[in-house]
Homo-oligomer: A and B are copies of this chain.
């Protein structure tokens, strides 16, 4: 499968590989900043560092903000027929539980070729790698063959509340012909992957308030019980075959095209690896093969994330709970939106006599899915094929969520994602890591991607 490398990228790879230690050291300096947006820690300092680094990479950049939002770095450089937008975020998840880290989260450490530290994978690694790739391109290949714009935000890990308004306000500095989104991961078999969008999310609390106070359970035969009401309401949302039964919801799910199904059929999916990792005998409803992949990549989810009611200690307490609540998350595919799901949920519950179930909305993001035949997607596939010497796996949609719609759907910019992560990168978890080899390969792939998206063969 190894293809001939254009001469320019021989020099590019030599340039990059010679600077491996320098590149990693630079990333480590960024990872040492504890940029936990949930705690508003080191946000201003990190924004300054990122602005300075982007400027040093040649960007005419500024830190901007909308009311209430964090400093957000916007910049551009280069010229050409095409414009590329690079989206990354400089904030990270909280490092808890600290005790489970082998080495401290903000003291980046190399072990067995892996670099450990909070943000190495999500998403400081990709942010830094792309700036380094742009510098390397200019040094080893030549002037940038396209205009490159950057958007580095600082509240992705807390829901990007201000990003929609920011993208609207700064649209003139963000518009582009394609966008590279924050991340991508080698799969469990070590294959490079490219993704064409993200699911949305609609996270809600469902709460039932029954009796004024907890009651003695001896009245359970006649006094309404909040925990039963919640149980029945939940059971009406998804049936035992794990099919979502919220009235009307599945009607808004865009059916897979013949092309989608053909893609899914070919898509590698390590069913036995999944079963082993999760310790399960099988998937919901006995799904496997293409039907399983269709459910995973192209259908919405409805997941109970938490349940709370009454007595939860050891042994027995005979109590009828006054309050019961559930946390439920829906992952959304086109054409579902958080607003639509909340409306359908309210109507569904009311229609079935569950007007007593209160809905409190939390996190909400729209899905964002892009075709496989956009120029930016084709450039990503070509660049990965060239850099890795193997055909990348193309995911039609990632099962996770992010603020892609706020930028790309709002401004009409086709998006694609690939990056330096691996199947065990442990984003949001203890011992987050990337392989140093993957970091360098992402720089190599990103340089080729710039070249390809400008219309050149790679």
Bound Cα distance from A287 to B219, whole angstroms: 13
How many identical chains are in the complex? 2
A456: interface (CB < 8 Å): no
Bound Cα distance from A300 to B220, whole angstroms: 9
A399: interface (CB < 8 Å): yes
Bound Cα distance from A227 to B210, whole angstroms: 21
A39: interface (CB < 8 Å): no
Bound Cα distance from A324 to B327, whole angstroms: 13
- B231, A299: Cβ atoms under 8 Å? no
Complex contacts, A231 vs chain B, CB 8 Å: 231, 234-235, 304, 307
Complex contacts, A169 vs chain B, CB 8 Å: none
Closest residue on chain B to residue A401 by CB atoms: B218
Complex contacts, A312 vs chain B, CB 8 Å: 306-308, 327
- B319, A306: Cβ atoms under 8 Å? yes
Bound Cα distance from A171 to B331, whole angstroms: 65
Bound Cα distance from A362 to B331, whole angstroms: 38
**Looking at the complex, which of A118-126, A183-191, A278-286, A387-395 is the stretch in contact with chain B?**
A278-286
Binary B-proximity of A283-296 (CB < 8 A = 1, otherwise 0): 11001000010011
Which of B210, B301, B324 lies in contact with A217, CB distance below 8 A?
B301
Residues of A within 8 A of B (CB-CB), count? 75
- B299, A305: Cβ atoms under 8 Å? no
Complex contacts, A295 vs chain B, CB 8 Å: 221-222
Bound Cα distance from A280 to B311, whole angstroms: 21
Complex contacts, A302 vs chain B, CB 8 Å: 220
- B278, A212: Cβ atoms under 8 Å? yes
- A307, B227: Cβ atoms under 8 Å? yes
- Expressed in whole angstroms, the minimum distance between the Cβ of A303 and any Cβ of chain B is 3
Closest residue on chain B to residue A352 by CB atoms: B240
A: which residues have CB within 8 A of B?
199, 201, 203, 210-213, 215-225, 227-228, 230-232, 234-235, 238-240, 242, 274, 277-280, 282-284, 287, 292, 295-296, 299-312, 315-321, 324, 326-327, 329, 331, 353, 362-363, 398-401, 428
